[in-house]
DNA sequence: TCAGATCGTTGACAAATGTAGACGGAATGA
DNA sequence: TCATTCCGTCTACATTTGTCAACGATCTGA
């Protein structure tokens, strides 16, 4: 588990695009980033390079340019980032998690998923 | 809801100290920050000032210096920060939340709390 | 084969962040 | 009352981040 440098705000926005697209050439990324954030192609290219350096994207040469893919799933990366934020929750992680569940719109399926996790943790804890 | 600028990594560390202490004079903060991060008093003073400017701390003059207090609870601030991170979770917030619950050590009480939230949300959703 | 469109790389620069010294004023113990 | 200590403010400066233009290499349609 190589030590990953944190993503910056702008880099997150780019990552989100690549996660959504699952894989994308520079052009695709900057077209979307243009609409979504008004960034110039040059800006996007710089961000892509920096993200590559940080190891969150991998690139494969295809013809002229590169095809980018996420090097890690969004769940893993977001989860990790959230986890380190949670360390700042002085009153404990539980309350924050609860508050999050409370204020997040969740589908039936999501609720079931959560329910399962909780049941499971109870079992681990009991005996 | 005034638009709060985000805290930076170093600022989070200071906030954490004040949240833990509930209220603290500059001296207390930088003593702890010294042990914990090796920061000089000057550094801490700068950070405190910047955090005040951002509105996450309030200060009351006491004798020579200031008494700092959190302007917002850690739950609220951490919760808010987590929420905006979650927007990057392309596969939906539910899975990330579930993965968090799964991998976080939670007390019996925490689990009950979570359970309540879930039950409540189910009720809201059903009818 | 050649002109135009694209690409990646390099260089740049302002703003934000991390880190801290120095200084003048206030508190305090002798 | 005076020296010491501590405080807040000001200033500084290196690094990181946000933004982008320009340039030479490369692809592609005619």
Q: Which nucleotide is nearest to A10 (CA to C1')?
A: D18
Measure in Å the smallest separation between the Cα of A5 and chain B Cα atoms: 12
**Distance from CA(B123) to C1'(C12), angstroms, rounded:** 58
Interfacial A residues in 5-24 facing B (CB < 8 Å)? 6, 9, 12, 15-16, 19-20
Contact between residue A46 and residue A30 where contact means Cβ atoms under 8 Å apart: no
Please tell me the predicted confidence (pLDDT) of residue A124.
Answer: 85
Please tell me the predicted confidence (pLDDT) of residue A20.
Answer: 97
Instruction: Please calculate the CA angle B84-A108-B115 and round it to the nearest 5 degrees.
Output: 75
Q: Return the sign of the alpha-carbon dihedral for residues A99, A100, A103, A107.
A: negative
Dump pLDDT digits (tens) for B2-12: 568 999 999 99
B96: which chain A residues are within 8 Å (Cβ-Cβ)?
75, 78-79, 82
Dump pLDDT digits (tens) for A67-117: 999 999 999 999 999 999 998 999 989 999 999 999 999 999 999 999 999
Dump pLDDT digits (tens) for B51-66: 999 999 999 999 989 9
Whether the per-residue pLDDT at A17 is higher than 60: the answer is yes
The torsion angles phi and psi of A60, rounded to 5 degrees, stand at -120, 130
Instruction: Please calculate the CA angle A122-A77-A86 and round it to the nearest 5 degrees.
Output: 55
Of B114, B119, B87, residue with least CA distance to A117: B114
| Joined tokens for residue A37 | 């954030």
Is 0.85 surpassed by the pTM of this model? yes
Please tell me the predicted confidence (pLDDT) of residue A2.
Answer: 55
């Amino acid at each position: 588990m190589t030590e990953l440098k944190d993503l910056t705000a702008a880099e997150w926005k780019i990552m989100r695009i690549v996660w959504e697209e699952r894989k994308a050439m520079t052009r695709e990324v900057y077209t979307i980033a243009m609409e979504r954030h008004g960034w110039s192609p040059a800006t996007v290219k710089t961000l892509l390079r920096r993200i590559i350096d940080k190891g969150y994207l991998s690139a494969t040469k295809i013809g002229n340019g590169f095809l980018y893919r996420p090097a890690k799933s969004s769940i893993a990366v977001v989860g990790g980032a959230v986890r380190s934020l949670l360390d700042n929750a002085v009153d404990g992680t539980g309350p924050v998690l609860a508050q999050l569940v409370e204020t997040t719109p969740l589908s039936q399926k999501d609720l079931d998923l959560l329910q399962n996790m909780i049941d499971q943790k109870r079992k681990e804890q009991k005996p």
